[in-house]
Amino acid sequence: MKNLIKKIFPLNRSLVSDDNYKTLKYMQKFTKKLKIKSFKSGKKVFDWRIPKKWSVKEAYIVTPDKKKICEYGKNNLHLVSYSKKIDKFLNLKQLKKFLHTRKDLPKAIPYITSYYKKSWGFCISYDEFKKLKKGKYKVVIDSNFENDKMHYGEILIKGTLSKEIMFSTYICHPSMANNELSGPLLSIMIANFLMKKKRRYTYRIIFTSETIGTIAYINKNIDVLKKNLLAGYILTCVGDERCFSFLPSRHGNTLSDLYALKIFNKIKGKKKYYTWLDRASDERQFCSPGIDLPVSSIMRSKYGSFKEYHTSLDSFGKVVTMRGLKQTLKIYRLIINNFEKSFFPISTKKCEPFMTKYKLYPSLNNRSNWILPKEIKVRNMMNFLSWSDGKNSIESISKKIDLNLKNTKKIFYILKKNKLISIQ
C-alpha cells in the first residue's frame, strides 16, 4: 500500500486525464481482477456529456523579481483543475482575481476546479499570497483539451448468487489523501478480502470520476443494477481516525442502510449520524429519482467536515493513517460477513399460493394430511410469505412476524422444500 500511495498520490487526476488511466494501471498490480474500461468524450449520458481530456505540460507564475511561484510541477493543486491555456503579463491587481487562497488555513493550498466552464486560475497559500508585491507578473499555463476517453475501473467478483453488493469510489482528485485516495485504497483492500474465498453474493467494485463518471456508469449499467443490486456503499473519506460517520440512502430504510446501521450502532467512540440532506458524493446519483438504488455510506470524517478538506493539508500521516484505513476495513468486513450469512426469501407465486395443494393448509375433509409441526401456526407461515419479497432477511422477517428465529427458520425450510420461495 505504501508503494502504491507513493506512485499515485502526486498524479494529476481529473475528470478525464491520462493520470486517471495511470492510476488504474498501478492499482491493477494490487488486484488482478480490476478491468479498465472507458467512455468516449462527447458521449451523451442522461442530461450530461463526457468532457474532453485535460492535459498540462507546465504552469507557473513569474514574479516581478523573476521568482517562479505556484509551480504545477511541484504541486498540481496550484493549478485550478481544467484551466485553459494562457501566456500573458498581468499586474498584481489583475492577477489577484485569478488567485485562490484560504485565509483560515494560511499554510494550505486549496483545491479548486472549473470543469464545465472554460476558465483559469492558480491556488496559493495565504502565507505566500501576503508576500506578493506590486509589479508585472508573467502567467503561463500550457494546457490542452482534446477528445479522448474517460477511463474507469471495475472489479466483478462473482458469487453463487447473481444478487450484488456494490462498492463505489472515485479517482478524479489529485494529491489529497482522505478525499480521495482513501476510497480507492480501501476498495482494493476490500477486493482482496473478498477474493480470499468463494462468496454467496456477487460483488461489484467501481472506480469512476465523481458525478460524471458515475452518471455514465449508471447510464450504461442501469438494467443490471436495478435487477441485481441488494445494497451499495460509497467509499470516500474513509482513512482518518477522528470519528465514524453514517450517511443514509434517500429512503433511509434500504438493505444498505439496515446492514450498515447494524454494525455502525455498535461502534464505540465518536460517531456522527447524518441525513440525506447532508449528501454530497455519488449517493446523489445512485439514489436519484428514477434510479432509486439502495446506496448509503459509512465514512470517517465526512467530506466538508474536516478542516483539511480540499487542501494540500489533506495528507497521509497527518490526516489518513493505515490504522484508520484498517479500522474502516474492519467495519465493511463485518457488513460483508453479515450479508454472506443472510438469506432473502422471495415468493415464487403471484398472490397467495394455493397452500392446500402442498398439504400446508388445514382441511376439514383431510385433517390427516396436516404436516406442519405443532409449534408452527398457519398464520405464522402465511405471515412469513407476506414478507418474502427479496428485501427482508430471515432475521428481519422473524422480528416482523414476532416469532423466534428457530421457528422462523423451520418455516423457511418447509416453504423452500415445497418451492414456494427461492432465495437471493
Superfamily of domain 57-145: Domain of unknown function DUF2172 (3.50.30.90)
pLDDT tens column, 288-333: 999 999 999 999 999 999 999 999 999 999 999 999 999 999 999 9
**Does position 391 have pLDDT exceeding 70, yes or no?**
yes
Give dist(CA 25, CA 38) in Å, integer.
13
At 254 the pLDDT is 94
**Does position 424 have pLDDT exceeding 80, yes or no?**
no
**Does position 374 have pLDDT exceeding 90, yes or no?**
no
pLDDT tens column, 53-75: 999 999 999 999 999 999 999 99
- For residue 61, how many C-alpha atoms fall within 13 Å in the half-sphere facing its CB? 24
Residue of 184, 127, 152 lying closest to 40 (CA atoms): 152
Q: Where in the sequence of the chain do the CATH 3.40.630.10 domains occur? A: 2-51+149-340
Q: What is the mean pLDDT of residues 345-361?
A: 92
Percent of the chain with pLDDT over 70: 97
DSSP state of 316: B
Task: For CA atoms 365, 366, 372, 373, give the dihedral sign.
Answer: positive
At 368 the pLDDT is 47
pLDDT tens column, 241-296: 999 999 999 999 999 999 999 999 999 999 999 999 999 999 999 999 999 999 99
Residue of 261, 238, 237 lying closest to 310 (CA atoms): 237
Q: Are 155 and 205 in contact (CB under 8 A)?
A: yes
Superfamily of domain 2-51+149-340: Zn peptidases (3.40.630.10)
Pairing mode, strands 345-347 and 35-40: unpaired
pLDDT tens column, 36-55: 999 999 999 999 999 999 99
Q: Are 232 and 256 in contact (CB under 8 A)?
A: yes
The dihedrals phi and psi of 397, each to the nearest 5 degrees, come to: -65, -40
Q: Where in the sequence of the chain do the CATH 3.50.30.90 domains occur? A: 57-145
Edge-to-edge strand order for the sheet containing 136-146?
A: 68-69, 53-62, 136-146, 86-91
Confidence of residue 195 (pLDDT cuts 50, 70, 90): very high
Please state whether the predicted TM-score (pTM) of the whole model is above 0.85.
yes
